[in-house]
Structure 1
Amino acid sequence: MIEYQGYFGRIEFDDSADIFHGEVLGIRDVITFEGRSVEELKQAFRDSVDDYIEFCTERGEEPEKPFSGKFLLRLGPDLHRRVSAQAEASGKSLNAWISERLEESSAS
């Protein structure tokens, strides 16, 4: 993974073409980039993100951001009941409690 201005890219290596290529993740628009070296790939990623933002600005559109900070989570009723009880017992909202658990999990 690579990150620039809040955009994340996935990188793959094409052995037959001897080139790195990547795509920005988490948005509906398609932003791709490629390079023969790591530095060339990083620069192509940054240039592609900058070009995307500039293109959106020229069209008077807001560039899509990959993550809004909101996501829908579906749980089975029993798990929903258990985590709600744990959140309540800790004096936290369900959202705050789940956010803390995710933060702890992503730190390891």
Structure 2
Amino acid sequence: MKNVLEFEGGYQAVITYDPEIEMFRGEFVGLNGGADFYVKDAESLKREGKTSLDVFLRMCAEDGVQPKKTQGKFALRLPPDVYHSAAVAAAAEGKSLNTFITDAVRQAVAGA
């Protein structure tokens, strides 16, 4: 995936560049808390990312917290016409709207 660094254990960090401070920022996603890191050069991304992740995982272990989110929930707001079209399409396929949208998102990220 573009702008995503993979780390041991299936952890992933999205990398962005902030021209205002002239630094790269890595932010881990899918965690039960925040873990990020900043570096000046691309060569430091993996090293600093590993350090940040190690600190986060150690804190989770100390607190007895599962580091990864096990399920994602979010409210999806759709314009009325899109909602109606999606509900009709889901019903036509014999699926719940949730399953229909999950399948669409799964298909979209599979090609990323």
Any residues of structure 2 matched to 1:50-61 within 5 Å, and which?
A: 50-61=54-65
Which runs of no fewer than 5 residues in structure 2 stay unpaired?
none
Structure 2 equivalent of residue 93 of structure 1: 96
Q: Deviations over 1:38-82 (max 9, x none)?
A: 34321210221121011121133333x367333221223332222
Q: 1:72 to 1:3 in 2, by over 3 A?
A: farther
Matched AA of 2:74: F
Whether 1:79 and 2:82 are equivalent positions in the alignment is yes
Q: 1:72 to 1:6 in 2, by over 3 A?
A: farther
Q: 1:72 is paired with a residue of what secondary structure? A: coil
Sequence identity, in percent? 30
Whether 1:24 and 2:28 are equivalent positions in the alignment is yes
**Match 1:10 to one of 15, 21, 26:** 15
Q: CA-atom RMSD, angstroms?
A: 3.1
Higher alpha-carbon Rg: 1
Q: Is the 8 A contact 2:35 2:53 kept in 1?
A: yes
Shift of 1:9: 3.1
Q: 1:13 to 1:66 in 2, by over 3 A?
A: farther
- What is the distance in 2 between the residues matched to 1:30 and 1:85? 38
- What is the distance in 2 between the residues matched to 1:15 and 1:78? 40
Structure 1 equivalent of residue 46 of structure 2: 42
Which runs of no fewer than 5 residues in structure 1 stay unpaired?
none
What TM-score do the two structures reach when normalised by structure 2? 0.65
